[in-house]
A and B are shown apart, each in its own frame.
Chain A
Amino acid sequence: MSDFMRLEHVTRTFGGGALSTKPPIVAVDDVSLSINEDEPKITTIAGESGSGKTTLARLLMGTITPSFGSMYYRGKDFTKLSRKDSWNFKQEVQSIYQDPFGSYNPFYKVDHVLETPINRFKLATSRQAKNTMIEDALAMVGLQPGDTLGRFPHQLSGGQRQRVMVARALLIKPRLILADEPVSMVDASLRATILDSIRRLNREIGISVVYITHDLTTALQISDNILVMYRGSVVESGAVERVILEPKHPYTQLLIESIPQPDPDNKWGDEPPSARFEDFDTMFGCKFADRCPHVMEMCADEHPPQFHLEQHRQAQCYLYRDEADVMEDPDLATIFQDRRAELNV
């Protein structure tokens, strides 16, 4: 078993330095996760703004380092990578960001974002090979090279710009793509096409994908496994159908009930409670205790451990203390399902 990336008890805090009067903000709190390249999967990291999902992605991207805990890239300690390993890492991990306009330099033609990685990583030997590579990558995401190349970013629609970014990520042949809200700024009618091209990268080329979103409907459509984050902790995780169609943690239940269903017969219930920070000291107990409809006395005392509810799911909630065992292996990837068996690959 070869782990491409492994996070062990990773915590990342911001602020709270020696001169600060405020306590540090814990953006990611004790997360252990591995990404295995033998079984390329699409893993969703879901949660509301401020839940730490983007911080977790930035840790995986290597742009920030953990405050506590350790991170490994192909079995090597991330903080002590050699120059060569660090170069390989930059090639093997690529990201797609939320804003399809911010990723471009408006003074350069679209070709520039596609040519730069080829030149930088010396992927092509001739001019012709380079053009073929670019055309193949564009075709893979459903774009016509004639409609796209030679144009400036402002001449393309948001959906086209985002697909060019997918094509760019594809050119470099990475092992892992981190997609941070890739469709939240794109029209609903175009979302399907972009997500479909990301899914094809995974299914056809075998690239692992980490999809960061707050939109659980698209998560269910494209991903295999999901982590639901709340204030830095992974409150529930496992196989995507199990978690989304039958949520167990009260926070996941609230998230799923709040999705506006396009069905006039299936309306929202009453207004959900807002956070009441003053009522509970959430430093020690469960972070969701102040909003939880099932809160118990024990929730305020100690942070709940990961309960292994079923083969492909865990939840950090005391409601399941009688029916489930505490997970011994903290690595969340151990509960993820392997889809290769089903797909017969």
Chain B
Amino acid sequence: MVTTEQDTRLDVASNDDYALRIEGLKVYYGTPRGLVKAVDDVSFNLRPGERFALVGESGSGKSTLAMAIMRLTREPGHIAGGHIYLGDRDLVEMEEKQIRSIRLSEMALVPQGAMNSLNPVMRVGDQIIDGIMDHVPPGEGAPNRTELNTRIHDLLVRVGLDPTVARLHPHELSGGMKQRVAMAIAISLNPHIIVADEPTSALDVVVQRQIMQTLGRLQEGLDAAVLLVGHDMGLVAQFADTIGVMYAGKLVEVGTVPDVFKDPKHPYTKLLIQSLPSFDISRQFVGIPGMQPALLNLPPGCAFNPRCPSVHERCFREVPEYLNLDVGRGVACHLFDEEATN
């Protein structure tokens, strides 16, 4: 491996120092027309306190991956292979009962569209209690009512809400406030990994900025790692440290945010960055030609070959392997085969 000698630069002595390691994860959906490989052989690592963003078009498998990490994959989907290591424990092997004790206390989800994930007939405070009581680690005793009230007060203040919100029902809150409640639930047991699946997709820019900055503040307070799933490259540039680009179920490029934005390697990432609208009026505003292929019917070779401007003969024959270019920087594209072996 090329990476072993360079690993020291990042102060990572061994695999145990990663907060989360995903190795060769595969999530497939069984459908009447065949197996859909929504996530196909994806590997990446998350360091403690790192903000990793996973981007891709709808249907690229990014949400499926986030759900699989939380072990929330639903039928007809199943984890078909690979490992999710949290420290030295493999979540893929765990029983549902063990997973429940890890969710919220070690690993929490901020769901997409908080408006639909809160219970409409329960007061906000009771929903926070619900999460705490259900997931409190077995070692700690269940907190009593006074302790819970102090905790709710404290949580709501931390996410920037008025403590009286605890007495309200979800329909009395705005979209941004509901998203803040979802964040309060997510941090209620001080997790060290937060998975945020498009946390601001239905909110407007000012509220979006407030929510992302609150998430950043909470993450720093807990020193937790964040996995942000989204398609807004602008938000990624503002929030994340590292970025992973997904295309048709595969991770095609990984790198730090400045590296990927200044020097994108994969032709898809290049097009993705060019297609962003900007305030530079002189620049031509172009989309990516063609459509993402149906996962049931992928073209042979590289899945991006029908849309790729730098396509060559090899792309139709072989699926490109993920190549490590540097520590934490890699790409899956035949254009870099030689560079990586040198």
A binding-site residues for B, Cβ under 8 Å: 48-49, 157-159, 187-193, 195-196, 214-218, 220-221, 241, 244-245, 254-255, 258-265, 267-268, 271-272, 274
Please determine whether A255 and B206 come into contact, CB atoms closer than 8 angstroms: yes
Given contacts A189-B57, A244-B279, A259-B234, 15 further A-B contacts (CB under 8 A): A189-B272, A189-B288, A195-B285, A215-B205, A217-B277, A220-B279, A258-B206, A260-B205, A260-B232, A260-B238, A263-B261, A264-B257, A267-B238, A268-B209, A271-B217
Please determine whether B279 and A245 come into contact, CB atoms closer than 8 angstroms: yes
State the 10 A-B residue pairs at the shortest beta-carbon distance, nearest first: A260-B234, A192-B287, A217-B277, A189-B288, A258-B209, A48-B204, A258-B205, A214-B204, A260-B238, A260-B235
For the complex, what is the distance from the CA of A190 to the CA of B279, rounded to whole Å? Answer: 18
Q: Convert B240-271 into 0s and 1s, putting 1 for each residue whose CB lies closer than 8 angstroms to a CB of A.
A: 00000000000000000110010000000001
Q: Which of B210, B232, B239 contacts A271 (CB 8 A)?
A: B210
Q: Convert B207-245 into 0s and 1s, putting 1 for each residue whose CB lies closer than 8 angstroms to a CB of A.
A: 111101110010000000000000111111111000000
For the complex, what is the distance from the CA of A71 to the CA of B278, rounded to whole Å? Answer: 36
Q: Chain A residues with Cβ under 8 A from B272's Cβ?
A: 188-189
Name the distance in Å between A277's Cβ and chain B's nearest Cβ. 11
Name the distance in Å between B115's Cβ and chain A's nearest Cβ. 12
Name the distance in Å between A251's Cβ and chain B's nearest Cβ. 9
Name the distance in Å between A75's Cβ and chain B's nearest Cβ. 36
For the complex, what is the distance from the CA of A158 to the CA of B231, rounded to whole Å? Answer: 15
Given A214-B205, A220-B279, A260-B238: A190 in contact with B285 (beta carbons within 8 A): no
Q: Which of A214, A221, A254, A268 contacts B238 (CB 8 A)?
A: A268
Please determine whether B206 and A48 come into contact, CB atoms closer than 8 angstroms: yes
For the complex, what is the distance from the CA of A244 to the CA of B205, rounded to whole Å? Answer: 14
B309 at the binding interface (Cβ < 8 Å)? no
Query: Is chain B's interface secondary structure helix, strand, loop, or mixed overall?
Result: helix
B275 at the binding interface (Cβ < 8 Å)? yes
Given A217-B277, A220-B281, A274-B160: A187 in contact with B232 (beta carbons within 8 A): no
Given A258-B206, A267-B238: A188 in contact with B213 (beta carbons within 8 A): no
Please determine whether B237 and A263 come into contact, CB atoms closer than 8 angstroms: yes
Please determine whether B279 and A217 come into contact, CB atoms closer than 8 angstroms: yes
Q: Chain A residues with Cβ under 8 A from B214's Cβ?
A: 271
B8 at the binding interface (Cβ < 8 Å)? no
Name the distance in Å between B265's Cβ and chain A's nearest Cβ. 16
Q: Chain B residues with Cβ under 8 A from A271's Cβ?
A: 209-210, 213-214, 217
B49 at the binding interface (Cβ < 8 Å)? no
Q: Which of B209, B237, B273, B285 contacts A192 (CB 8 A)?
A: B285
B175 at the binding interface (Cβ < 8 Å)? yes
Q: List 30 A-B contacts (CB under 8 A).
A: A48-B204, A48-B206, A48-B207, A49-B175, A49-B204, A187-B231, A188-B233, A189-B57, A189-B271, A195-B285, A221-B281, A221-B285, A241-B281, A255-B206, A258-B208, A260-B205, A260-B237, A261-B234, A261-B278, A262-B233, A262-B237, A262-B261, A262-B276, A263-B237, A264-B237, A264-B257, A271-B214, A272-B210, A274-B160, A274-B210
Most buried by B among A258, A260, A274: A260
